[in-house]
Structure 1
Amino acid sequence: MNMVWLQVIIAAVIEVFWVIGLKHADDFWTWTGTIIAIILSFYLMIMAGKKLPVGTVYAVFVGLGTAGTTFADIAFFGEPFQFIKILLIAILLAGVIGLKLVTKDKETEGAES
């Protein structure tokens, strides 16, 4: 796997933490952690956008973040499991995977010609 795509995946994982932090932070340290997570995830996403198409990076970032946040809500915060919600997220992830498969790095596009 390309290291730039790994940056996008790590940014999406960190996104899950800051989204949870936005809902549950209630003191100085949890808000500080949330703010650091926001800065780090957006930094990684922006850096990946310098080598990959920005629209694709953003779609993958948001899609993986949505799936991760939904999983965390169900697994750790008592959100009820709904099959239709999981099905729709699976469809979203299929689109995200499809975008990743058809997107080439900016660095390798010129090397093909």
Structure 2
Amino acid sequence: MPWVLLVVAAGMELVWATALKRSEGFTRLWPTVIGVPVCLLSVVVLTLALRDLPVGTAYAVWVGLGSLGVAVTGMAVLGESVTPMRVTCLALILAGVIGLKAVEG
């Protein structure tokens, strides 16, 4: 269950980071209204996962999956550049997350 919570928290990171990008520095209401509470909720869910997971592993996975999701969303939805090196680096992040899960079990 802690790994499920961790993945949910990372998914929320994708939502809040994208919403805050769209808030244009908190000048747009609805992206701000979505982004800030989801950010807080993401940290709450991460905290629940931390009850049973080591902090280093959980935080690395949370940030890694969140970063990966935000970067892919940026490329797919926001028109950010897609380069072979960028995709390779994102694949390495994913490999690291999978490795941490394998080590922790």
Calculate the TM-score normalised by the size of structure 2.
0.91
Amino acid paired to 1:87: T
Distance 2:97 2:76 in 1: 23
Amino acid paired to 2:8: I
State the match for 1:39 in structure 2. Answer: 40
Runs of 5+ consecutive residues of structure 1 not aligned to the other structure: 105-113
- C-alpha offsets along residues 57-110 of structure 1, whole Å, 9 cap, x if unaligned? 000001101110011001101112111111011111111111111115xxxxxx
Whether 2:49 is the aligned partner of 1:48: answer yes
Distance 2:82 2:93 in 1: 17
Distance 2:101 2:8 in 1: 15
Identity %: 37
1:34 positional shift:
0.7
1:27 positional shift:
2.6
Distance 1:27 1:63 in 2: 28
Q: Rg larger in 1 or in 2?
A: 1
1:17 positional shift:
1.0
Q: What SS is found at the alignment partner of 1:50? A: coil
How many residue pairs get aligned? The number is: 102
State the match for 2:19 in structure 1. Answer: 21
Distance 1:99 1:40 in 2: 24
State the match for 1:4 in structure 2. Answer: 2
Runs of 5+ consecutive residues of structure 2 not aligned to the other structure: none
Distance 1:5 1:33 in 2: 24
Calculate the TM-score normalised by the size of structure 1.
0.85
RMSD of aligned alpha carbons: 1.1
Whether 2:92 is the aligned partner of 1:91: answer yes
Distance 1:85 1:99 in 2: 21
